[in-house]
Amino acid sequence: MNEIIAALTGHPFFTGIDPALLERLATVTTVKEYPAGAWVARSGAPADTFHAVLSGRAGIEIAAADRDPLLVATVHAGEMIGWSWFVEPHEWHFDVLALDPLRTLAMDAAALRAACRADHELGYQVAHRLARLLASRLVATRHQLVDVYGRGC
């Protein structure tokens, strides 16, 4: 448990969160490892985990009919994978592929949602950080789409 608390404390997403709240987060967190080429998430599957990347890279992709998957973002150490766990229907909206051996702090989504409901300060801290994550991902996705499809989007 101390290893997980230390990893949460050192992860940029959790900077500034009260240590007592980090202890609460640690109770729903495990370390997860994926080999390069493994799927971390598949679009339409249950979004049951929130990942804080410790090492490696993951690619966030959009699959479209009659096209190769489009890589819309690459997530590195210090970044997060997933927001779908927070928003109903709690299904992944993108595919996520480990580009390198990937090590994450994997938070059980149902337990994390319950913890956020039970502790409003924890819920606020997580939701506030998720809003920033979503905003940055939307901007990055827009830039990627403009690069791929041109300014006519």
- Taking only the tens place, the pLDDT of each residue in 59-91 is 999 887 778 888 888 999 999 999 899 999 999
DSSP state of 68: P
DSSP-derived pairing of the beta strands 95-98 and 39-41 = antiparallel
Query: CB count, 10 Å around CB of 88?
Result: 7
Q: What is the pTM of this model?
A: 0.89
pLDDT of residue 14: 96
pLDDT-above-90 percentage for the chain:
76
SS3 breakdown of the chain: % helix, strand, coil, rounded to 5? 40, 25, 30
DSSP state of 28: T
- Taking only the tens place, the pLDDT of each residue in 7-49 is 999 999 999 999 999 999 999 999 999 999 999 999 999 999 9
Query: CB count, 10 Å around CB of 1?
Result: 9
**Contact yes or no for 62/70 (Cβ under 8 A):** yes
Q: What is the rounded CA–CA span in Å between residue 99 and residue 107?
A: 21
Q: What is the rounded CA–CA span in Å between residue 107 and residue 149?
A: 35
pLDDT of residue 67: 80
For 2-149, CATH gives: 2.60.120.10
Average of pLDDT values for 112-133? 95
Domain ranges within the chain, ordered by starting residue:
2-149
Helix (H/G/I), strand (E/B), else coil: 142: helix
According to DSSP, the residues that pair with 11 across neighbouring strands are none
As given in the structure block, the two tokens for residue 149 are 């499809």
Confidence check: pLDDT of 116 > 90: yes
**Contact yes or no for 84/90 (Cβ under 8 A):** yes
